[in-house]
Amino acid sequence: MSAPPSMMGTCHCSRCRKLGAAVMVFIRRDSLSWVQGREDVVLYQPEAPYTYGRCFCRRCGTSLGEILSQEESFPISAHALDGDLDLRNRFHEFVAEKPAWLPICDSAEQFEGHPVMS
């Protein structure tokens, strides 16, 4: 990436939890350049009512979020990035679907569904 991620958020929806990649960072498409491995990225397109496809590496299984998105900005799994990030979690979304055994241990804003950012 030629620019660092712009924001970090945590999704607690049942779908993201099953992917094992609920912490996402948002990157700009124009900052992403592929050096190698693009051919190993597979897109899983869910059935309705879900609309967002999720990507993963077919070699190692790493969850990659929406790395093949054509949107200007999109989320990728924070866990897929090497090194430290100079970001802190900004929000928690779909907290209504969060399992009871997982406490939220930061002061980031919480939303029942998709966030409405001010």
**pTM of the full predicted structure?**
0.83
Looking at per-residue confidence, does 73 or 46 come out higher?
Answer: 73
pLDDT at position 45 is 86
Phi-psi region of 29 (alpha: psi -120 to 50; beta: other; left: phi over 0): alpha
pLDDT band at 46 (very low <50, low <70, confident <90, very high): confident
pLDDT band at 39 (very low <50, low <70, confident <90, very high): very high
How far is it, in rounded angstroms, from Cα 62 to Cα 16?
13
70, pLDDT greater than 70: yes
pLDDT per position as a tens digit, 74-112? 999 998 888 889 999 999 999 999 889 989 999 999 999
Nearest to 65 by CA among 6, 2, 15: 15
Which residues of 16-97 form beta strands (DSSP E)? 23-28, 41-44, 54-57, 63-65, 73-77, 89-93
pLDDT at position 118 is 59
How far is it, in rounded angstroms, from Cα 27 to Cα 25?
7
pLDDT at position 20 is 65
pLDDT per position as a tens digit, 22-38? 899 999 999 998 999 99
16, pLDDT greater than 70: yes
